[in-house]
Structure 1
Amino acid sequence: MDIIAVKVIVALLFGLIRFVFGIFPIKVYKWLKSGKSEQIQSAVNERKQKTLLYIVAVVQSFGGGVLFATTFLHMMPAVYYSVEELREFGIIEADYPYSQLVVSLGFFTVYFAEEVSQWLISKTPDKPFKKHSKGRVSSTTTIVSIEKEIPPEFTKIPNGMAFEVEKKNEKNNNFCEKNEKYIEDNVTNELVIDSIDQSVQTDNDENLKISENLENNLGLKHEENKEVEEFIEEEVKTQQQILRCFLMIMALSLHAIFEGLAIGLQRSITSIWYLFTAVSIHSATILFCIGMEVVCLGTSPRSTMIHMSILSSTSPFGVLLGLVITLTTDLHTRAKSLAIVLLEGLSAGTILYITFFEILSREKGRKGCRVLRAISIGAGFTLMALLQCLKIDT
Structure 2
Amino acid sequence: MEYLLQVKIAALFGLLLLTLLIGFIPARVKWFRDTNGTDTHRTVLSLISCFAGGVFLAACLLDIIPDYLTDISEELASRQVQTSFPLPEFIMAAGFFTVLVLERLVLHCRERRAPPGEREPLLHGVHSHGGGGPEGPELENSIQHVHMDLQAHSPFRSFMLFFSLSLHSVFEGLAIGLQNTDSKVLEICIAILVHKSIIVFSLSVKLVQSGVRSGWVAAYLGVFALMSPLGIALGVAVMEAQLSSGGLVRAVLEGLAAGTFLYITFMEILPHELNSPGRQLLKLLFLLLGFGVMAGLTFVG
Matched, 1:305 2:218: yes
Conservation of the 8 A alpha-carbon contact between 1:103 and 1:345: yes
Q: Give the structure 2 partner of residue 355 of structure 1.
A: 265
Matched, 1:18 2:19: yes
TM-score (normalizing by structure 1) = 0.63
The 5 Å alignment of 1:1-394 reads 2-28=3-29, 30-31=30-31, 49-127=38-116, 244-329=157-242, 333=244, 335-391=245-301
Q: Distance in 2 between matches of 1:59 and 1:17?
A: 16
What is the deviation of 1:69? 0.9
Could you say if the C-alpha distance between residues 243 and 294 of structure 1 is closer, same or farther in structure 2, counting changes exceeding 3 Å?
Answer: closer
What is the deviation of 1:17? 1.4
Deviations 1:126-174 (A, max 9, x none): 259xxxxxxxxxxxxxxxxxxxxxxxxxxxxxxxxxxxxxxxxxxxxxx
Deviations 1:169-212 (A, max 9, x none): xxxxxxxxxxxxxxxxxxxxxxxxxxxxxxxxxxxxxxxxxxxx
Query: Quick one: which amino acid aligns to residue 324 of structure 1?
Result: A
Query: Quick one: which amino acid aligns to residue 305 of structure 1?
Result: A
Which deviates further from its counterpart, 71-80 or 265-274?
A: 71-80
Q: Give the structure 2 partner of residue 137 of structure 1.
A: none
Could you say if the C-alpha distance between residues 288 and 32 of structure 1 is closer, same or farther in structure 2, counting changes exceeding 3 Å?
Answer: closer
Q: Distance in 1 between matches of 2:206 and 2:114?
A: 22
Conservation of the 8 A alpha-carbon contact between 1:70 and 1:384: yes
Conservation of the 8 A alpha-carbon contact between 2:50 and 2:286: yes
- Identity, in percent, stands at 28
Q: Distance in 2 between matches of 1:99 and 1:21?
A: 36
Conservation of the 8 A alpha-carbon contact between 2:26 and 2:32: no
Cα RMSD of the aligned pairs, angstroms, is 2.2
What is the deviation of 1:316? 0.6
Q: Distance in 2 between matches of 1:336 and 1:91?
A: 17
Q: Distance in 2 between matches of 1:287 and 1:92?
A: 42
Could you say if the C-alpha distance between residues 318 and 125 of structure 1 is closer, same or farther in structure 2, counting changes exceeding 3 Å?
Answer: closer
Q: Give the structure 2 partner of residue 41 of structure 1.
A: none
What is the deviation of 1:103? 0.6
Conservation of the 8 A alpha-carbon contact between 1:76 and 1:99: no
Q: Distance in 2 between matches of 1:100 and 1:73?
A: 16
Conservation of the 8 A alpha-carbon contact between 2:162 and 2:203: no
Q: Distance in 2 between matches of 1:344 and 1:74?
A: 11
What is the deviation of 1:33? 6.7
Deviations 1:5-36 (A, max 9, x none): 111111000111111121111244x13578xx
Deviations 1:345-383 (A, max 9, x none): 111111110111110010122212111111000000111
Query: Quick one: which amino acid aligns to residue 16 of structure 1?
Result: L
Q: Which runs of 4+ in 1 moved over 3 A?
A: 241-247
Q: Distance in 2 between matches of 1:87 and 1:307?
A: 41
Conservation of the 8 A alpha-carbon contact between 1:32 and 1:49: no
Deviations 1:36-79 (A, max 9, x none): xxxxxxxxx69x72221121011001001111111111111121
Aligned residue pairs, count? 265
Query: Quick one: which amino acid aligns to residue 307 of structure 1?
Result: Y
Query: Quick one: which amino acid aligns to residue 250 of structure 2?
Result: I
Q: Distance in 2 between matches of 1:94 and 1:23?
A: 50
Q: Distance in 1 between matches of 2:196 and 2:272?
A: 16
